[in-house]
Amino acid sequence: MRALRALYRTFLLERTSQSRGRRLLREWLPAEQRAQFDAEGYFDVIGCDTGKRYRIRQGTSANVYEIDAAGRCGMGWCFVPAGGLVEGDVMLAQKIALETSELSALAVANSFPPLLRWGRPMARPF
């Protein structure tokens, strides 16, 4: 009976909007991005217009950062699709926006300075 309850709980958890959004995101990520996301909790994308690299971290806002050639976080960007979407759906929309219409996405985004590990802004981006 315990095994059946555990299976039922697992089934219910997999049917939440959060888990469906995360599953959709993972299905859209190429193998390299999926592996990076599973291991690190973020994945990198290349902007279609400038060729800049961006890191999309788990979250629904203020979770996109420019990454320099040394892999350091630079300027942060906050842009989200309209509507109350779950985390996976927001991250997927951010990925698609940067890979297909980078400059348009950044035109509506709010920027913020890069953060150090301790949560303080850096004096200036890379």
d(CA 39, CA 37): 6
| pLDDT at residue 10 is higher than 50 | yes
Q: Residue 13 — pLDDT band, cuts 50, 70, 90?
A: low
Q: Count CB-CB contacts under 10 A for residue 81.
A: 14
pLDDT in tens, 40-96: 999 999 999 999 999 999 999 999 999 999 999 999 999 999 988 999 999 999 999
User: Which pLDDT score, from 0 to 100, does residue 9 have?
Assistant: 63
d(CA 87, CA 48): 23
pLDDT in tens, 81-114: 998 899 999 999 999 999 999 999 999 999 999 8
| pLDDT at residue 15 is higher than 60 | yes
Q: How far is CA 93 from CA 1, 21, 117, in A?
A: 41, 11, 26
> Any idea where the domains of the chain sit in the sequence?
2-112
User: Which pLDDT score, from 0 to 100, does residue 4 have?
Assistant: 67
pTM: 0.81
pLDDT (mean) for 14-19? 80
